[in-house]
Amino acid sequence: MPIQINLSKTLNELNITKNKLATEGKFRVATLHELENGKAKSITFEMLTNILDTANRISASEGKRQITINDIIDYIPDNQIQNDTPNN
């Protein structure tokens, strides 16, 4: 699948849990679990913005860098995925 979820890596970098992000952002932690585990069939721009805004508030309060959309979700075209696979 060309969509890669980077949420866990970003939360680790911020040293926070999905529970803290969800509590701070006032959304369901189950939404983050579904997204992270590839169970979410879609994500709204509103939810993505809420995740980013919340992560950036936390990051700024810790004096850390700005979180971008690629820190949450990324697109890798199928041809890049196939080209990155080692040949046997």
User: Residue 78: what pLDDT?
Assistant: 81
Sign of CA dihedral 49, 8, 22, 56: negative
User: Residue 86: what pLDDT?
Assistant: 54
User: Residue 82: what pLDDT?
Assistant: 57
The answer to whether the beta carbons of residues 7 and 72 sit under 8 Å apart is yes
- In the chain (88 residues long), the average pLDDT of successive 10-residue segments reads 89 96 96 91 94 97 95 88 54
